[in-house]
Amino acid sequence: MSHSYSSNRIHVIFSTKERHKNISDEQQPTLWAYMAGIARNQGFEAMIIGGVKDHVHALLLLPPSLPLSKAIQFLKGSSSKWLNETGAAGNKFSWQEGYGAFSVNASQTAGVVRYIENQKAHHANKSFEDEFMEFLTKYGVAYDPSYVLG
**Predicted confidence (pLDDT) per residue in 76-104, tens digit:** 999 999 999 988 777 789 999 999 999 99
How far is residue 92 CA from its own chain's centroid?
20
Q: Identify the structural domains of the chain with CATH numbers, from first to last.
A: 8-138 (3.30.70.1290)
**What's the pLDDT at 1?**
64
